[in-house]
Structure 1
Amino acid sequence: MTGIAEPKSATFGRVELHPGVSRLNMSTFYFSAFISICLLSFVNLIQPYLLTEILKVPLSEQGSVTGAILFWHEMVIIFTIGLAGSLSDTVGRRLIFAASFLIVGIGYGLMIQAGSAWQLIIFRMLFAAGAAGVTSMLSTVLADYVKDRDRGKANGVQGVMNGIGAMTAVFVLLNMPEWFKQSGMDSVAAGFATYYTAAGLSAIAALLLWLGLKEAGVRERAQPKRFIELITGGVRAARDPGVLLGYGAAFVSRGDLAIIGTFLALWINKHGVESGYNAAEALARASIIIGISQLAAFLGAPLFGILADRVNRVTALAVTNVISGLGYISLFLIDDPFGGAMFAAVAVAGVGNIGTLISTQVLIQQQTPADIRGSVIGFFGLCGAVGILAASKLGGWLFDVWTESGPFVVFGLLSFVLAAWALVVRNDIRPVRE
């Protein structure tokens, strides 16, 4: 009787891939890591320009308006990210990933046409549905493609691509309004051109992902289950202390990412406009400061990826959260966001944030059984959405009522709490073998 030999595994650099995954598939995934962070971070970075130049929202109200926008954005993600992960277990990752980018592009095209803050919220909610699918698929596809022993390195490379994407958003897309104005456009036309450029990039990304990711296979298509069964599977998985820690880490790390992507840009824009800059000039200054944070993250990503493969992944999570907490709380000491101390603070925060994201993703990938991976990582994403929701509402209120650095202080403290939690449960966590 003749057996069927298991297909050989390919490698991508020093990363071993699962059988059936090609280098083209992996290259396409890393492109998705680049373009997803570029487009999903840019929506928050460009928002101060939209509020100031297009919608004419007073500076004194922009913190609360931003918080409201993010609140409804995350409400949509809470109700859709689990659906995206669960559906991908039955229809395949490629379809969900590509369709999600199309929705992101439609959202960009509509947001710039908003005539009021409430219209912007509605269009941002549509964008959020696409963002939920993109976010869910990033961790799920990487877990499908790479063998566990190399996931730290693979996530480190993903972090590098994330960093390049974030810097592209900061140094290229965020400067586009000023470039369009220099070419003769007024502020409104420059805003429309910038948003339509982002929409076009989203459509191109959807096409490339459809062509380059692998078709749904056995590892993706578990036996079909009802949606509620897939969701409850993610909840039941929390009985594993490693999965539960991963859910808590998602809450903190995604909240961290939200405040640095939203309230840092808002803080710098507010300071710049109050100092006499126009919105486009203030964003150009913001691009330098945020770019320092992203450059630090870019340089730190491969190091944290290697660390996650060489030490206990719970230990790596604790270490990175201590760094992140120090970076965020140090922002409370900043009086002038254009001063030199700001560069050091955001660099530490950027290094800590990318380290936390990498160690969190590797931990949840390590602890997730393959047959419910989409569901568990979908619920993991839901926990991250709740973290962003808390960051947006509480952060917007603190920004307007207390101090611009208030959101950073709260999540810096939460980073320390997460580090302590990780150390307490470290010896109780055992990796799930595939």
Structure 2
Amino acid sequence: MSALAPTASADGTIQLVTVRERHFKTAIVLGAVVLLLAALFLFVPRDGVSTFRLGGRDSAFALPDVELPTAATCWILLGILVLLTAWALWDTWSYRSPALWLIIVFGVLAVFAFLVWAGAGGLVPVSSLLVGAVSLSVPLVFGALGGVIGERVGVVNVAIEGQLLLGAFTAAVLSSITHNPFVGLIGAMIGGVLVAFVLAAFAIKYLVEQVIVGVVLNVLVTGLTGFLYGALLAPNESLLNNPVRFTRIKIPLLSDIPIIGPVLFNQTFIVYLMFFTVALVAWALYRTRWGLRLRAVGEHPQAADTVGIRVNTSRFWNVSLAGAVAGIGGAYFTLVSVPQFGKEMTAGLGFIALAAVIFGRWDPIRATLAALMFGFVTNLQNLLTVLKTPIPSEFMLMLPYLVTILAVAGFAGQIRGPAAAGKPYIKG
């Protein structure tokens, strides 16, 4: 890693020289993971055979179960992780950033090693684990995409939690009244836009601190939906809180592909919409005029204003778009996951989505991968309970949030968000 720094020469002229720096944070994080796994395998050893089921018994292309000796496999994988950590350390010592593929391979092998340890004497259903991870990640992905759009245009979207919650509420009510889940989905988008509209109005027009507005909106939406639930939905549950849900759409042949078939091709409409939205936002952000203008407003609003871009108008409409995207994530709670709306049912997922935005470096693809990781850890908590691992249940409950903290604390320090995010723009 290198940077340019100005220096004064003997004749008084200013020259730019390359300053090389080493950043050991990634290598330290990988080393800490290796030490934790080594302590787990050493002090809480597990013997026997770990069985991995790669597909369902009713699949057209069923694969046999894979059985691995628990102890031997754990230590072999740990040795590979040590080599990858040493590789990352060597890259850092040589003034190079550790390659992204190295970090991804390390993460996959570390999770696999932990699953081998946890699955001693039990069965790990790989396809079910991945399907559950994707299902738990859907609200996080939509929330993270809304956060990326909002912060890329210069507005810190702390109100993702409120957008998810109001989206879930409006989706439940409109789907119950119309008996049409698509109407509920549109209502969820409108609910997300309403929260984003208030955020944009106070943050852009009245120059109120954006983080404070977001926090207040989350509290306001939580109280409002809680009041409406008690006053309207609970007494009229069959009429207003009995939404028609989306059913699974199974794609022939593709859904029978081992492991990935049920994950990608046997999902509900909202999950397919998630795949499309991620691809669309990732393409539009870097390949279209809209994306160029959005990024320009979030990085250097003065320069964008100079070339004729209406900065505050662009921020207003893009924050509203971000609210609509986050609202779809709220619809997943009541139109797919749970058959009715419940008080505070989002349970703080909006803040985890915001962490995914930071961990994903304000990039749609990276933020989506971060959200999927958080969803996987949440589903892993349920699997560990079934496998009866010797890990305390209290630790398993805090595992998703612990991984969120470690991810942001371990990697966020190396990255920089949009330069103008959180800063109001005053023309002239």
Normalised-by-shorter TM-score class? 0.3 to 0.5
**Structure in which a larger fraction of residues adopt helix:** 1
> Normalization by structure 2: what TM-score?
0.33
Provide TM-score, normalisation by structure 1.
0.33
